[in-house]
Copies of this chain bind each other. A is one copy, B any other.
Amino acid sequence: MVNRSMYRPAVTALSGYVPGEQPPPGKFIKLNTNENPYPPPQPVVDAIKKAADGTLNRYPDATSRAFRCAAAEALNLPGPEWILAGNGSDEILTMLVRGFVGEGEKLRMPYPSYVLYRTLADIQGASWDQINFNDDWTLPGSFTESTENLKLALLPNPNSPSGTILSESEVAKVAEELECPLVVDEAYADFAETNCLGLVGQNENVLVTRTLSKSYGLAGIRFGFLVAHPEVVSELSKIKDSYNCDAISIAAATAAMKCSDWLADNCSKIIATRNRMAHELPKIGFQVTPSHANFVWCRHENISHRSIYDFLKSQQVLVRLMDFGDHGHGLRISLGTDEQNDALFCLLQGHLS
């Protein structure tokens, strides 16, 4: 047997990140992992099929240049050198932690937020410093306080599970006050009115991560990217696997970045659904936090969230039950198609009234 003492102690201590349930396709209405309920743009599918007939026996472009050029254009950035592509924004987050935070050093994040951040620190043998959000999901001043060995701060914006957002000027202030780089995780930014891309050019300590998993309906292809000063991109590139993105996902992601009309339409549909949910869920006893993402965070006034979750699951509807102890618990419900949301609402109405 590989003796347990042979692993890094940081690894044996890990319990491992547990992603949301992924049931067999077709059996459940999946409103638990903030996927886009709609299929991706057709040009993406076409690009994949074309790439399948390409030279798959050859290594892909190590720098995903075609994607980076398309993304720079779509996002109005100075050029591809401001972008680092990754195998999902999870890989980008991994690179950031490996780039900035050593064993015994410290990573800061707000709480409740994306639990993966803590896991990334744990894998690295680093410690983490969770700063509780205020009750209204604003960030307390302690988020920017200096502390020994603080090397990186991660801020999801919009945040999950709350769907709340800090304004660009609030984030700018956080970045200025922090003495370490600030990663703004913008996985859900396409569903919001504002984002922090503009800050990257103003303050080189601001690093923005994006993903194609949510707004582009491409969770299946694993593609994310970092927007940062070219020197940061260059330095972090040294950590990535040589060929971290494959030829097919590069082709798909490149095509996706050219679908700006599709993106606008898709986000409009999801925002319309969000508005409808925010209007209807309170009618059956939920408090809904105003959301800027493709999900809503809701708490029921008098029925246990566990029982609502269990009931929905028994009816083949998956939502995310989340318990943050003293810092709240509730249901995070991803926004589905109108049909899916109707089904959810109908079930909830029957169960709760």
B88, A241: Cβ atoms closer than 8 Å: yes
- Contact between A58 and B219, CB atoms less than 8 A apart: yes
Cross-interface CB contact of A239 among B57, B123, B249, cutoff 8 Å: B123
Report chain B residues within 8 Å CB of A87. Answer: 87, 222, 241, 244, 246
Closest to A219 in B: B59
Give the CA-CA distance A58 to B17 in the complex, in Å. 18
Query: Which B residues touch A248, using CB under 8 A?
Result: 48, 220-221, 248-249
A57 near B22: Cβ-Cβ < 8 Å: no
Q: Are A217 and B56 in contact, CB atoms less than 8 angstroms apart?
A: yes
Contact of A229 among B2, B56, B235, B243 (CB under 8 A): B2
The stretch from A3-11, A128-136, A303-311 touching chain B is: A3-11
B residues less than 8 Å from A243 (CB atoms): 19, 88, 90, 219, 222
Q: Does A106 sit within 8 A of B, measured CB to CB?
A: no
DSSP majority for the A interface? Answer: loop
Q: Bound complex: CA of A246 vs CA of B25, how far in Å? A: 16
- Contacts A16-B237, A48-B48, A123-B98: A57 and B218 contacting too (C-beta < 8 A)? yes
Whether, in the assembled complex, A52 has its beta carbon less than 8 Å from a beta carbon of chain B, the answer is yes
Choose from B14, B33, B151 the contact partner of A6 (Cβ within 8 Å): B151
Interface residue range, chain A: 35 or more
Copies of chain A in the complex: 2
- A36–B55 CB distance below 8 A: no
Are A246 and B221 in contact, CB atoms less than 8 angstroms apart? yes
Chain B hits for A1, CB < 8 A:
204, 229, 231
Closest 5 CB pairs of A and B: A220-B247, A16-B238, A56-B220, A57-B217, A48-B52
15 contacts between A and B (CB under 8 A): A6-B151, A11-B236, A14-B239, A19-B62, A19-B242, A25-B55, A49-B49, A56-B219, A59-B219, A59-B220, A87-B222, A88-B244, A221-B246, A222-B243, A222-B245
Q: Could you list which residues of chain A lie within 8 angstroms of chain B, going by C-beta atoms? A: 1-2, 6-12, 14-17, 19, 22, 25, 30, 33, 35-40, 44-45, 48-49, 51-62, 87-88, 90-91, 94, 98-103, 116, 123, 125, 151, 180-181, 204-205, 213, 217-222, 229, 231-232, 235-239, 241-249, 252
- 13 extra interchain contacts, Cβ-Cβ under 8 A, other than A11-B239, A35-B57, A90-B243? A16-B238, A17-B242, A22-B58, A22-B62, A38-B57, A55-B220, A56-B217, A58-B219, A88-B244, A90-B242, A94-B241, A221-B247, A222-B245
